Structure 1
Amino acid sequence: MSGHGVAMPRWRAAVVTVAGLIGLAAALVLSIEKYQLLVNPFYRPSCSVNEKVNCTAVMQSEQSALLGFPNPYLGLIGFAIVLTIGVAALAGTRFPGWIWKGLSLGILAGLALVAWLAYQSIVVIEALCPYCMAVWVVTIVLAAVVWPFALRRSPSR
């Protein structure tokens, strides 16, 4: 696509695409597992392995619904956006600077949420959820890959 805007290098676009896909998959599994737990309190999520690797403890905590609905729903929306931008960037779409800056702000919000949730999971709940940890990792990777590009190379318009 020609015109104004900045094209993300292919390797960065590929990382954004893969991170978006992994994050979306983790959010989808978490959403399904949370639903199953809500309809059947005896359900054991696939990610509940022992006392410390225990999605049930994490999913049943009040921290798991920060805004009044399950946190994975935020991941479904956020990672769908990341995946869409990643695929379009991989195809050579040149986005205006505000898209890259908006993505950077979204990643910043995600990183703040991930930091808080990681602290809550490790220190307060004292249990880890493998799918949640996957989200933590891909969010950090997104920040490392998108921010240097978006904040230094994108035009202000």
Structure 2
Amino acid sequence: MTAPAKGPIAGWLLTVCGALGLAAAAILSYEKYRLLENPFYVPSCSVNETVSCTQIMQSAQSSAFGFPNPYLGLVGFAVVLTTGVVVLAGARLARWYWLGLAGGILAGAAFVLWLMYQSIVVIGALCPYCMVVWAVMIVLTGALARGALRARRG
């Protein structure tokens, strides 16, 4: 989603991905807060040993920067959602803004890839809300790559 990725398709993609990611991050933030408040709390996304948000939320990886990871999602997906709505409203955003958004998406994708590896390989559990975030980031990264290829072709 560099500067050439404009228009209603980009706006809808950003709006839908931003809304889904923000919803998942909000639920994860709430569940993490409840778990921090009460270590015996069972999050709504803990179904069994394999589908277990509890194992993931209690791991060191769940607070990679010293605070709960979903807080990054609250901020990042709010920006993505807002950008989508602004584009749908017809605003033209500067190239530097699109480049900054692309940088944020790439940084988010790299972090999500690391979290996916940690969840699947190291912790050995899956969190449904985390998987929503993974899917949203895959879609955003794919759209970003497509936009970059289109820009390169002219």
Q: TM-score, normalised by structure 2?
A: 0.92
1:1-157 equivalences under 5 Å are: 8-149=6-147, 152-153=150-151
Contiguous gaps of at least 5 residues in structure 1: none
CA distance in 2, matches of 1:33, 1:7: 35
- Kept in 1, the 8 Å contact 2:26–2:74? The answer is yes
CA distance in 1, matches of 2:16, 2:109: 17
Measured on the aligned residues, the alpha-carbon RMSD in Å equals 1.7
Structure 1 residue 123: deviation in Å?
Answer: 0.2
SS at structure 2 position matched to 1:120: helix
Judged with a 3 Å threshold, the aligned counterparts in structure 2 of structure 1 residues 102 and 151 are, in CA distance, closer, same or farther, namely: farther
Judged with a 3 Å threshold, the aligned counterparts in structure 2 of structure 1 residues 112 and 135 are, in CA distance, closer, same or farther, namely: same
Judged with a 3 Å threshold, the aligned counterparts in structure 2 of structure 1 residues 7 and 127 are, in CA distance, closer, same or farther, namely: closer
Give identity over the alignment, percent.
61
- Kept in 2, the 8 Å contact 1:97–1:150? The answer is no
The alignment covers a number of residue pairs equal to 150
- Kept in 2, the 8 Å contact 1:19–1:142? The answer is yes
Structure 1 residue 145: deviation in Å?
Answer: 1.7
SS at structure 1 position matched to 2:9: helix
Q: Residues 121-153 of structure 1: CA distance to partner in whole angstroms, max 9, x if unpaired?
A: 000000000000100110111111234336754
Q: Residues 54-108 of structure 1: CA distance to partner in whole angstroms, max 9, x if unpaired?
A: 0000000000000000000000000000011011011111111111111110000
Amino acid at match of 1:17: T
Which piece of structure 1 moves more, 143-152 or 73-82? 143-152
SS at structure 2 position matched to 1:26: helix
Segments of 4+ moved more than 2 angstroms: 146-154
CA distance in 2, matches of 1:151, 1:96: 19
CA distance in 1, matches of 2:149, 2:8: 17
Q: TM-score, normalised by structure 1?
A: 0.90
Contiguous gaps of at least 5 residues in structure 2: none
Structure 1 residue 7: deviation in Å?
Answer: 7.1
- Kept in 1, the 8 Å contact 2:5–2:147? The answer is no
Q: Residues 26-73 of structure 1: CA distance to partner in whole angstroms, max 9, x if unpaired?
A: 000000000000111111000000000000000000000000000000
